Amino acid sequence: VSFVGAGSCLEALENGKPLIVVINDKLMDNHQLELAKQLHRDGRVLYCDCSTLVETLQSMDLSALKPFPPGQPEKFASFLDKVFGL
Query: For residue 73, which phi and psi values (nearest 5 degrees)?
Result: -60, -25
pLDDT tens-digit series, residues 48-68: 999 999 999 999 999 999 999
Residue 82: pLDDT over 80: yes
- Spatial separation of the C-alpha atoms in residues 56 and 46, rounded to whole Å: 8
Which pairing describes strands 46-49 and 20-23: parallel, antiparallel, or unpaired?
Answer: parallel
Q: Are 20 and 58 in contact (CB under 8 A)?
A: no
What phi, psi does 25 have (nearest 5°)?
A: -80, 5
Average pLDDT of span 39-54: 96
